[in-house]
Amino acid sequence: MSLNTLEEIAEYIVSDGKGILAADESNPTCGKRFDSIGVESTETNRRDYREMLFRATGMKDNIGGVILFDETIRQNAEDGTPLVDLIKNQGALTGIKVDKGLAPLESSPEETVTQGLDGLDERCKEYVSLGAKFTKWRAVIKISDTIPSDECIEANMRALAKYAKIVQDNNMVPMVEPEVLMDGVHSIERCYAVTSQSLKSLFDCLKDEGVNIAGTILKPNMVTSGSMSESQASVQEVAEMTVKCLNENVPSELPGVTFLSGGQSDVDATAHLDAMNKIGDFSWKLSFSYGRALQQPSLKAWLGKEENVSLAQDALSHRALMNKLAANGAWNPGLEN
């Protein structure tokens, strides 16, 4: 794969319905997932788990990129092959999470702003040398009756834009992730309003920083009801409101939108993506960048046992294929059995 420009890299990741496997959980998050299946979160176990995912046959043709955590991009498989080479051999590109997590916002301590601009240029240079072609930075926007504040949205989108410019200067594609959290009792209309404001601010900031939009990937939330809301929007309503929100706020030159699953079940995340692609009428690829919604069935099948590896790989391969079909608007629930 001779992908030389930012545009070529970004387009490749979302070509033909391909999407992204998010395997960039921090060690504490990975620990929680392992706790749920009774597996100790050691460096070796984390490596074995991710190696198992990256060797699944369904990675090929369905996954265009894999986001890694700092530990993983440096690891070798059990047979000594660098994990980045396993990913490359499956026809996918290596990505890396580069933010340094969340800190309380001074003006509004219940809100957060993402850290990590200090030293980012040096980290990017090292990650390029380790084989990374794209990067990820996550901003978090919470919804309640009183938040988000304009300051929170502005500070996070400004940081995302500064990050994106540094990454592009190092010839990697930035994924910008302005996640409006599902947590809460809010309506889908409230999520729509906050997501719209966040995306409008993000693209204004990206423009201000001189970021090349055609060499950028957006990783947004879908527009949904709050997870604790008594009235939950239908699949079709989520699809329609999300597409409308994107059409109003996302420039046409962006190559791809790869949604986060954000606490949705694996099948719900697929159904929503499929419904959006069946609506159509947008200029960018609509695809997936799922962590839990791709991995959860695999994790449950694996249970840390060698004899379950092929079952776990089959589970990942199935979800990767289902989501590729959804990214092409060609999924239906009957394919799940």
Which residues are designated catalytic?
177, 219
Alpha-carbon distance values, 276 to 162, 235, 244, 271 (Å): 30, 9, 10, 9
Location of structure tokens 């900031």: 205
- List for the chain the helix, strand, coil content (%; round to 5): 50, 15, 35
Task: Record the tokens describing residue 17, joined without a space.
Answer: 């319905």
Report which DSSP code applies to 273: H
Location of structure tokens 């788990």: 49
Q: Where is 288: in which H helix or E strand?
A: strand 285-290
> Cβ–Cβ contacts within 10 Å for residue 42, how many?
12
Q: Where is 117: in which H helix or E strand?
A: none
Helices and strands in the chain: count of H runs, count of E runs: 12, 10
Task: Record the tokens describing residue 180, joined without a space.
Answer: 């409006």
Measured CA to CA, the distance from residue 244 to residue 286 in angstroms comes to 13
Location of structure tokens 């979160």: 41
One-letter amino acid of 237: E
Peptide bond into 148 cis (omega under 30): yes
Measured CA to CA, the distance from residue 238 to residue 246 in angstroms comes to 12
